[in-house]
């Protein structure tokens, strides 16, 4: 079998760059990454070996739980010829108070890239500012940009493109909603976010998105009416009502979100060929009914698989 060590040089230079939030990247840069993800997926499916990151190591810091992010990054770096090392903050000296800046400088001497999942976006920024290697945001309380890259790849696969597609996000104005609003704004996709009063996406982020949208042609709408948001949508997306770290708010949130379940009644308002997306993990019977997530409109497992392909593209571009 042929082992391909090289990739063709990218039209955009991303080597050494961090990936902390989607607005660090332009339309062309995100398009390039998604294109590369499609290509790497094809290579993977045809059994072609591609080792552009031979001998490189990705450190994966986790302060929150994960199934998809951990396994897709660890498998992804291995498939690219490198290796991943799992670093739980319970075991790192970071968890015992070692400074973030010192950790960043030390890890930069051993690793070729860091992926971090934690609570604070400011901490990820501080890590990146003090590291001399690329830092990738694997989810914070504010953003989940890797998930949105996979979502964009999935939407391209299912709808054939992004421009002019209408995505309705129904549920909590959380890290997923924030990143989806920014991703849609950059890529020229229309997005309507429906959340109850008090749970709307971050205002500073939606304002930033509106500015970007003015140039890209995207339409951004924030509403408290899920039925209005779902109208003629191409994509309906939801996420858990209580994110990691909000477990003690679960009961209050179940009450606040009771009219925001994605079920067949809501889907009926969207286009006939509507696609259902969810970043997972999902709570059937809460934010989504079982018949929707397990039904014919749902592509959630294709979406989850794309985390692997798109993050391989990201690592290839940033760590190559
Ligand atoms: N969607 C997602 O990030 O899943 P994990 O929490 O399992 O990584
Ligand atoms: N909003 C969810 C996403 C999980 C992938 C959380 O932060 O827990």
- Reported as a single tens digit per residue, the pLDDT across 282-316 is 999 999 999 999 999 999 999 999 999 999 999 99
Instruction: Indicate whether residue 279 lines ligand 1 (CB < 6 A).
Output: yes
Distance 293 CA to ligand 1 centre (A): 16
Q: Quick one: pLDDT at residue 133?
A: 98
Confidence class for position 207, pLDDT limits 50, 70, 90: very high
Instruction: Indicate whether residue 69 lines ligand 1 (CB < 6 A).
Output: yes
**Which ligand is closest in space to the CA of residue 280?**
1
CATH number 3.40.50.1370 is the correct assignment for the domain at 147-303: yes
Tell me what the mean pLDDT of segment 109-121 comes to. 98
- Reported as a single tens digit per residue, the pLDDT across 22-68 is 999 999 999 999 999 999 999 999 999 999 999 999 999 999 999 99
Query: pTM to 2 decimals?
Result: 0.96
Distance 279 CA to ligand 1 centre (A): 7
Report the 10 Å Cβ neighbour count for 5.
11
Close Cβ partners of 179 (under 8 Å, ≥ 6 residues apart): 21, 22, 143, 144, 145, 147, 148
Going by alpha carbons, the residue nearest to atom 3 of ligand 1 is 69
Taking alpha carbons only, the member of 111, 127, 62 closest to residue 88 is 62
Of 181, 238, 279, which is best to mutate to test ligand 2, by the most ligand atoms within 8 angstroms of its C-beta?
Answer: 279
The fold adopted by the segment(s) 5-143+305-319 is: Rossmann fold (3.40.50)
Instruction: Indicate whether residue 269 lines ligand 2 (CB < 6 A).
Output: no
**Which ligand is closest in space to the CA of residue 241?**
2
Percentage of residues of the chain with pLDDT beyond 90: 96
Instruction: Indicate whether residue 239 lines ligand 2 (CB < 6 A).
Output: yes
Q: Quick one: pLDDT at residue 5?
A: 45
Going by alpha carbons, the residue nearest to atom 3 of ligand 2 is 243
Report the 10 Å Cβ neighbour count for 295.
13
Task: Give the start-to-end residue ranges of the domains of the chain.
Answer: 5-143+305-319, 147-303
Same fold, 5-143+305-319 and 147-303: yes
Instruction: Indicate whether residue 244 lines ligand 2 (CB < 6 A).
Output: yes
Instruction: Indicate whether residue 68 lines ligand 1 (CB < 6 A).
Output: yes
pLDDT higher than 60, residue 71: yes
Distance 66 CA to ligand 1 centre (A): 5
Instruction: Indicate whether residue 18 lines ligand 2 (CB < 6 A).
Output: no
Confidence class for position 10, pLDDT limits 50, 70, 90: low
| Nearest ligand 1 atom to alpha carbon 70 | 8
Report, as residue numbers or ranges, the catalytic residues: 117, 144, 147, 239, 279, 307
- Reported as a single tens digit per residue, the pLDDT across 121-164 is 999 999 999 999 999 999 999 999 999 999 999 999 999 999 99
Going by alpha carbons, the residue nearest to atom 2 of ligand 2 is 243
The mean of the pLDDT values for the chain is 96
DSSP the chain: --EE---PPPSS--TT--BSSGGGS-HHHHHHHHHHHHHHHHHHHHT-EE-TTTT-EEEEEESS--SHHHHHHHHHHHHTT-EEEEEETTTSGGGGT--HHHHHHHHHTT-SEEEEE-S-HHHHHHHHHH-SS-EEE---SS--HHHHHHHHHHHHHHHS--TT-EEEEES--SHHHHHHHHHHHHHT-EEEEE--TT-PPPHHHHHHHHHHHHHHT--EEEES-HHHHHTT-SEEEE--SS-TT-GGGHHHHHHHTTT--B-HHHHTTS-TT-EEEE-S---BTTTB-HHHHTSTTB-HHHHHHHHHHHHHHHHHHHH-
pLDDT higher than 60, residue 95: yes
Mode of pairing for the β-strands spanning 83-88 and 57-62 = parallel
- Reported as a single tens digit per residue, the pLDDT across 233-277 is 999 999 999 999 999 999 999 999 999 999 999 999 999 999 999
Confidence class for position 11, pLDDT limits 50, 70, 90: low
| Nearest ligand 1 atom to alpha carbon 139 | 3
Instruction: Indicate whether residue 195 lines ligand 2 (CB < 6 A).
Output: no
Q: Quick one: pLDDT at residue 3?
A: 44
Taking alpha carbons only, the member of 122, 190, 137, 177 closest to residue 24 is 137
């Amino acid at each position: 079998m042929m082992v391909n060590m090289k990739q063709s040089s990218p039209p955009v230079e991303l080597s050494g760059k961090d990936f902390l939030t989607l607005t660090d990247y332009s339309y062309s840069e995100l398009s390039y990454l998604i294109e590369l993800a499609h290509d790497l997926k094809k290579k993977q499916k045809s059994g072609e070996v591609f080792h552009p990151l031979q001998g490189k190591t990705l450190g994966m810091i986790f302060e929150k739980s994960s199934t998809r992010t951990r396994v897709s990054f660890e498998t992804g770096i291995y498939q690219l010829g490198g290796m991943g090392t799992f670093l739980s903050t319970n075991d790192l000296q970071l968890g015992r108070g070692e400074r973030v800046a010192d950790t960043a400088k030390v890890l930069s001497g051993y690793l070729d890239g860091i992926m971090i999942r934690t609570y604070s976006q400011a901490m990820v920024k501080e890590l990146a500012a003090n590291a001399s290697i690329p830092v990738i945001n694997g989810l914070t309380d504010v953003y989940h940009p890797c998930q949105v890259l996979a979502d964009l790849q999935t939407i391209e696969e299912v709808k054939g493109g992004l421009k002019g597609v209408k995505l309705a996000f129904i549920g909590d104005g959380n890290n997923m909603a924030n990143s989806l609003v920014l991703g849609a704004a950059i890529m020229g996709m229309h997005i309507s976010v429906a959340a109850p009063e008090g749970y709307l996406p971050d205002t500073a982020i939606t304002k930033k998105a509106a500015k970007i949208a003015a140039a890209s042609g995207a339409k951004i709408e924030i509403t408290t009416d899920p039925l209005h948001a779902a109208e003629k949508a191409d994509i309906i997306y939801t996420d858990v009502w209580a994110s990691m770290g909000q477990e003690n708010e679960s009961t209050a949130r179940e009450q606040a979100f009771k009219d925001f379940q994605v079920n067949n009644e809501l889907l009926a308002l969207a286009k006939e060929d509507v696609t259902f997306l969810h970043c997972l993990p999902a709570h059937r019977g809460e934010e989504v009914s079982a018949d929707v997530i397990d039904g014919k409109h749902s592509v959630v497992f294709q979406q989850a698989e794309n985390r692997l392909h798109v993050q391989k593209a990201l690592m290839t571009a940033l760590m190559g």
